[in-house]
Amino acid sequence: MALSAKEIQALTDTVAMWRMQEYILIPWYCFYVYYFLTTMAEEVSVIRPQRWNRGKALYMTIRYAMLVYIVIQLTREYRNYIAIPPKSCKALLIGYDLAIGLVALTCSFSLALCLSALVQLKAIYLVAIIVIDCAKPAMSWIINVTADFQYPAKPTSPLLDELGYPCYYISQKEWSENTIGHAGQDVRAYLSLAATTIMFLLGIAAFFVRYKGQGSPLIQVLRRDGGLYYMSMLAYRMLMAIFLTPQVVSISGRDANMAYILLLGAGLALNPILAQRLLINMRKVDYMGSQPVASKLLFAPPPPGSDEDLEDDPGFFEMAPGPSGAHHRGAVSKTSSTDEAREHGNNV
């Protein structure tokens, strides 16, 4: 059956949008893989010798879950001319939403703990900060994975087969009608903006608490206490939270918006990297006199006299100079399930 001129134009625009997403996001994925490979030596020498604790678990989860997400995403959503059965496509869809949701949640949890440690919050305030920062990504993770289960698996169309895409296309209309994927999307966007604003203010407070009364230069304090990492994460999250409000970019227009895709790709690659750097830097801050509840939750000290105690000696890590001051398609693929990637871009 011949296509009308309107249908041909719509198809051309859709394929062009997929190509644009691929050309933007694949380089960011490559950048993360490059970082992963070039920091393997650091992982082996610094992280792996540590006993299993919350800090190590968070670091390893962020590091490897993001890699799993990239592998599954490239397998399911990009042109590879692989024939994948519909049920396997659905399993891959669920798998990469589970992976990216786990990355988003653990990045938020790590950031909340690190900031709370740096400002030396008490336990009750620590719990409040964790709830504020983790509620939104946790809610979105549950909603998106549930929607993945609700959406039925379908065979790929002849057109997608010809173009080389291995799995079926999920339309925005069917996603909205058949799943809970877009439930409360606008409300969630504003909640995310409010939570991000609170975390941004906490980040500023952490910076001033660590810098106040110190003789060290500003840049040295920023480097030593992870300020460059957490302020970069918070600045990106604030920008993305504003960008995702309905008045700025509508849900239906995000996938074709180049600025949004650029921001999303940057967040998908850089936020897990910044979270990993922040966790390693937080380990160093522990040795510099910061031992509040959150810091102990991240890297609890080993029993005195144990082999791990020797590994946890300050000399085991390279210390930053200066006084401590202690007198902290692609991701937007052709499927609507990419809301989880959007949440990652905003929450890590």
Compute how many other C-beta atoms are within 10 angstroms of the C-beta atom of residue 276.
25
Which of 233, 235, 238 has the alpha carbon at shortest distance from 270?
233
Q: Residue 340: pLDDT above 60?
A: no
Most confident range (mean pLDDT) of 78-82, 167-171, 225-229, 312-316 is 78-82
Q: With bands split at pLDDT 50, 70 and 90, how would you rate the model's confidence at 292? A: very low
- Is the pLDDT at 222 greater than 70? The verdict is no
Looking up tokens 């082996």, which residue turns up? 44
Condensed to tens digits (0 to 9), the pLDDT of residues 10-57 reads 778 888 888 898 999 999 999 999 999 999 998 888 888 888 888 889
Share of the chain above pLDDT 70, in %: 74
Q: Please state which CATH number belongs to domain 12-347.
A: 1.20.1070
- What's the CA gap between 65 and 296, in Å, rounded? 24
Distance from C-alpha of 191 to C-alpha of 179, rounded to nearest angstrom: 21
Q: What's the mean pLDDT in 235-264?
A: 83
- Asked whether 200 and 234 are in contact (CB, 8 A), the reply is yes
pLDDT of residue 284: 58
pLDDT value at residue 51: 82
pTM of the complete model: 0.79
List, for residues 4-18, the tens digit of each pLDDT value: 777 777 778 888 888
Q: Which residue has the higher pLDDT, 168 or 207?
A: 168
- State the Cα angle at 23 between 17 and 26, rounded to 5°: 120
194-198: long-range contacts at Cβ-Cβ below 8 A with a sequence spacing of 24 or more? 195/132, 195/133, 195/135, 195/136, 196/234, 196/237, 196/238, 196/241, 196/346, 197/238, 197/241, 198/132
Distance CA 204, CA 209 (A): 9
Domain definitions of the chain by residue range: 12-347
Mean pLDDT, range 133-143, rounded to an integer:
92
